[in-house]
Amino acid sequence: MTAQAVQQEDLAVVIGLEVHVQLETDTKIFCGCSTDVADADPNTHTCPVCLGLPGALPVLNEAAVESAVKVGKAIDADIPEETTFHRKNYFYPDLPKGFQITQYDAPVCRDGELDVEVDGERRTVGIQRAHLEEDPGSLQHEGGSIDRADYTLVNYNRAGVPLMEIVTDPDFRGAEEVRAFLAKLEEVLEYLGVFDSQRDGSLRIDANLSVVPADEVGEDGEISDEALEDANRTEVKNISSHKGAEKALSYEATRQKNSVKRGREIEQETRHWDEGRGVTVSMRSKEEEKDYRYFREADLPPLQVSDWKQKLDIPELPDARRERFRDEYGLSEEAASKLTSTKQVADFYEDVAGEYDPDLAATWVADNLLGELNYRDMAITDVEGRLDEFMRLIELVADDEITTKNAEEVVLREMLDEGEDPETVIDREGLGKADEGAVEGAVEEAIEENPDAVEDYHAGEGGALNFLVGQVMQKTGGSADPGSVNQLLRERLDE
């Protein structure tokens, strides 16, 4: 293909990702330093091992390997008999040892896959490999972005934090697919309990992008290996969010298409996503594997992991759980989706559905609780310690001790805004359902006090009954059930 001959619309975009996720462990991957570095002063969570001082020896953190094996099970990957560690050598100030301990030819996971839904269609994204490695330190560029800074500060608190690098096949054909994949990946990792999407810097993405002639793409989105080999790709680094990925990839796709249109060759290079300016800038020509001089990390013996796969259990994953919720509880697709959005929500739903009617449970958890939490920019994890209080509120509704309306509009909201338990709100606001005698008394009173409305009712005026219901509700401080008030009134008036 000569570049000049190709029009922009004749090009298809090909994307493959290298996603680095931080595994949730208490200590770093090769030393005992705490990983809780969010509010720590620079270089306070360090030791001779993660600072790479001569003579210090790494010791592998078992919890990090367990997490990696769980991820492997979740993405249906091959887990080898034996996994090994390598040194990846490069010279950069974020790397105190001058090499990163990572995995090379025997990663802990190979040949996995993850199903995603894009525009209602199910797609399978291949995962080439997923391996363990240590995070480098972080660099803080002072006085402008990386390419313009006056000087750079270095903080090794992150050095040695356990990462898993998940490398996909070049299976994405657009930025939206990437976004769907990242959302799904995070969902699965959080279900496994190995990842926290709220943690700063817990997800970092290198995105590889190339353009190929559109007629190389088959109907099912397949592209031949030759076409992929032929295409020069750029690797965009420094992407740290789903939105960032979408923006960076849209930018890079347009840049490459325009370049080809103008007859320029795409260089195989590493580019940097400048979030502030919304552009990708050239950093360096792409390293090749030989540049890294990979060799075995002699300080870490090979690790036998094959039987860990049997030993470690993983929870039911979101797709399976969604399907089961539909079958077992008769939920709509939408409700099942909402109720499996996180493991905590799904667990709470099942607790409630086990005690009460599954539909009532669905309304209360999906619509009321999640709705009110969402409105306050909160998640279920923010009220984790109070789920028994919400359960008690639902019980009060189920037992008819309080009206649905009061429970929803007063008690639940006060519970969230004031941090009170349901009984306290109900007592303070006098919301306990009025007993039958009190409601009957209020009905009598309303009829006596409003002869005109009674007359209108007998004359067939529809509004009159509603007016009387309103009077009774007022007299009972909203604690009566409007439906039964309506019925009581009609019985009395029609006598």
Ligand X SMILES: Nc1ncnc2c1ncn2[C@@H]1O[C@H](COP(=O)(O)OP(=O)(O)OP(=O)(O)O)[C@@H](O)[C@H]1O
Contact residues: ligand X, CB under 6 A: 14-18, 167-170, 206, 208-210, 228, 231, 233, 235
Other C-beta atoms lying within 10 Å of the C-beta of residue 199: 14
Structure tokens at 325: 């919720």
Of residues 125 and 370, the one with the C-beta less far from Mg ion: 125
Query: Burial of 337 by CB count in 10 Å (0-12 exposed, 13-18 middle, 19+ buried)?
Result: middle
Interface region with Mg ion, contact rule CB under 5 A, candidates 123-131, 203-211, 415-423, 437-445:
203-211
Min dist CB 260 to ligand X, Å, is: 14
Give the binding range for Mg ion (CB under 5 A) out of 206-214, 354-362, 409-417, 470-478.
Answer: 206-214
What is the smallest separation between the CB atom of 235 and ligand X, expressed in angstroms? 6
- Residue 297 or 481: which CB sits closer to Mg ion? 297
Q: Closest distance between ligand X and the C-beta of residue 166, in Å?
A: 9
Looking at beta carbons only, is 179 or 233 nearer to ligand X? 233
Question: Shortest Cβ distance from residue 167 to ligand X (Å)?
Answer: 5
Question: At closest approach, how far in Å is the CB of 357 from ligand X?
Answer: 47
Nearest distance, CB of residue 268 and ligand X, angstroms: 10
Distances (CA, A) of 98 to 13, 20, 56, 89, 381: 35, 20, 14, 6, 40
Q: How many residues lie near Mg ion (CB under 5 A)? A: 3
Reported in sequence order, the residue ranges of 297-352 that DSSP labels E, i.e. its strands, are: 303-304
Could you tell me the smallest distance in angstroms from the CB atom of residue 237 to Mg ion? 8
Structural tokens at position 173: 């054909």
CA pair distance 9, 31, nearest whole angstrom: 52
**Coil vs helix vs strand at 494:** coil
Q: With CB cut-offs between 5 and 8 Å by kind, which of ligand X, Mg ion, none does residue 169 bind?
A: ligand X
Q: Does 409 bind Mg ion (CB under 5 A)?
A: no
169 binds Mg ion per the rule CB under 5 A: no
Burial class from Cβ neighbours inside 10 Å (0-12, 13-18, 19+) for residue 213 reads: middle
Site for Mg ion in 230-289 (CB under 5 A): 235
At its nearest, how many Å lie between ligand X and the CB of residue 210?
A: 3
Q: Which does 14 bind (CB under 5 to 8 A by kind): ligand X, Mg ion, none?
A: ligand X
Instruction: Looking at 25-61, list the stretches that DSSP marks H as alpha helix, in order from N- to C-terminal side.
Output: none
Based on CB atoms, which residue is closest to ligand X, 190 or 216? Answer: 216
Three-state secondary-structure class, residue 213: strand
Report the length, in residues, of the chain.
495
Distance CA(86)–CA(100), nearest Å, equals 8
- Of 108 and 468, the one with the shorter C-beta distance to ligand X is 108
Given Mg ion, ligand X, none, residue 366, with its beta carbon under 5 to 8 Å by kind, binds: none
**In whole angstroms, what is the distance from residue 268 CA to residue 286 CA?**
6
Whether 132 and 22 have beta carbons less than 8 Å apart is answered as: no
Residue 396: partners with Cβ closer than 8 Å, 6 or more residues away: 402, 407, 422, 426
Residue 482: partners with Cβ closer than 8 Å, 6 or more residues away? 403, 405, 469, 473
On the 0-12 / 13-18 / 19+ scale of CB atoms within 10 A, 55 is exposed
Position of minimal CB gap to Mg ion: 18
Q: Which is nearer to Mg ion, 104 or 349 (CB)?
A: 104
* Residue 228 binds: one of Mg ion, ligand X, none (C-beta under 5 to 8 A by kind): ligand X
* Interacting partner of 280 out of ligand X, Mg ion, none (Cβ under 5 to 8 A depending on kind): none
Q: Which does 17 bind (CB under 5 to 8 A by kind): ligand X, Mg ion, none?
A: ligand X
Which residue's CB is nearer to ligand X, number 178 or number 331?
A: 178
Separation between Cα atoms, residue 481 and residue 473, nearest integer Å: 8
Q: Is 18 in the site for Mg ion (CB under 5 A)?
A: yes
Residues found near Mg ion in the complex (CB under 5 A): 18, 206, 235
